[in-house]
Amino acid sequence: MRTIRDYQFVAPDDRSASAAIGNFDGVHLGHQSVIDIARSAEPAAPLGVVTFEPHPRVYFAPSSPPFRLMSREARASRLEKLGVERLYELNFNAALAALAPEEFAQRVIADGFGLRHVIVGADFCFGKGRAGTATDLLAFGQTMGFGVTIAPLIAQSDKTISSTAIRKALSVGDPRLAASMLGHWHRIEGPVIGGEQRGRELGYPTANMSIDGLHPPAFGVYAVLVDVLDGPHTGSYQGVASMGVRPMFGENRPNLETFIFDFQGDIYGAQLSVGLVEHLRPEETFDSLDALITQMDADSATARQILSAL
- For 297: left if phi > 0, alpha if psi spans -120 to 50, otherwise beta; the answer is alpha
Q: Which CA distances in Å does 209 have to 44, 194, 303?
A: 41, 9, 20
Residue 46, preceding bond cis, omega within 30 degrees? no
**What is the layout of strands, in order, in the sheet containing 117-121?**
2-4, 86-91, 47-53, 18-21, 117-121, 147-151
Q: What is the pLDDT of residue 289?
A: 85
3-state helix vs strand vs coil in the chain, percent to 5: 35, 30, 40
Q: Rg (Cα) of the chain, in Å, rounded?
A: 22
Q: How far is CA 255 from the centre of its chain?
A: 17
Domains (ranges, CATH) in the chain? 2-153 (3.40.50.620), 172-308 (2.40.30.30)
pTM for the model stands at 0.91
The SS3 call for residue 55 is coil
Per-residue pLDDT of the chain (310 residues; tens, 9 = 90+): 999 999 999 999 999 999 999 999 999 999 999 999 999 999 999 999 999 999 999 999 988 889 999 999 999 999 999 999 999 999 999 999 999 999 999 999 999 999 999 999 998 999 999 999 999 999 999 999 999 999 988 877 767 899 999 999 999 999 999 999 999 999 999 999 986 666 566 678 899 999 999 999 999 999 999 999 999 999 999 999 999 987 555 566 789 999 999 998 889 999 999 999 999 999 988 888 888 889 999 999 999 999 999 9
Amino acid residing at 272? L
Q: How far is CA 268 from the centre of its chain?
A: 23
> How many CB atoms lie under 10 A from the CB of residue 253?
9
Residue 190: name the closest of 131, 290, 262, 267 by CA. Answer: 267
